[in-house]
Amino acid sequence: MINMALEKVKMPLQDGASRSKNFDEVALGYTKEMAMEEAMRCLNCANRPCVSGCPVKVNIPDFIACVAQGDFAKAYAVIHESSSLPAVCGRVCPQETQCEQNCIRGRKGEPVAIGRLERFVADWYREHGSKQTPQISDNGHKVAVVGSGPD
């Protein structure tokens, strides 16, 4: 069922008294209930305007549909087809000038909280996802890495 609320589900924050005494993140992230409620705001638009605003073309409607169904592992798999850094992108990407700027829900009310949902999926996967190291087979090619940053 579509959630027609005009505003995004609010992100819980540390209160001022606490955050003045620590260096933890101020934004605490969605719970799974909050994420599913927000994901239900997505209309799964056929022409996918949000995807065209994403520099790496994450399949946004499909990963959000998985979140709405509570299938967070599949949501992570969908994101991972295009991006290996969803925990970072979900926090620091300027979604307001990229994917969320193009979101149809933003024409009347706030856009779908795509960044918050991406962050939620990445954090959920870090807690619950596979801990197996990917198996990579030798293909016979050699590479050299030149330069490795400061130091």
- Give the CA angle between residues 102, 117, 103 to the nearest 5°: 10
Which CB atom, from 5 or from 129, has the smaller least distance to ligand SF4? 5
**Least Å distance between CB 16 and ligand SF4?**
32
Question: Within a 10 A sphere around the Cβ of 5, how many other Cβ atoms?
Answer: 14
Q: How far apart are CA 64 and CA 71, in angstroms?
A: 10
Minimum gap (Å) between residue 45 Cβ and ligand SF4: 3
CB nearer ligand SF4, residue 6 or residue 144? 6
Is residue 52 at the binding interface for ligand SF4, with CB under 6 A as the rule?
no
What is 98-131 written as a DSSP string?
Answer: THHHH-GGGGSSPPP-HHHHHHHHHHHHHHHS--
Residues within window 1-40 making contact with ligand SF4, judged by CB under 6 A: none
Contacts of 45 by beta carbon, 8 Å cutoff, 6+ apart: 61, 104
Q: Which of 43, 56, 73, 88 binds ligand SF4 (CB under 6 A)?
A: 43
Does residue 27 sit in helix, strand or coil?
A: strand
Residue 103 binds ligand SF4 (CB under 6 A)? yes
Please choose, out of 1-9, 28-36, 42-50, 129-137, the segment that lies near ligand SF4 by the rule CB under 6 A.
Answer: 42-50
- Please report which helix (H) or strand (E) contains residue 74, including its range: helix 72-80
Q: Is 86 in the site for ligand SF4 (CB under 6 A)?
A: no
Which one of 18, 31, 44, 69 is in contact with ligand SF4 (CB under 6 A)? 44
* Footprint of ligand SF4 (CB under 6 A): 42-45, 48-50, 60-61, 64, 103-105, 112, 114
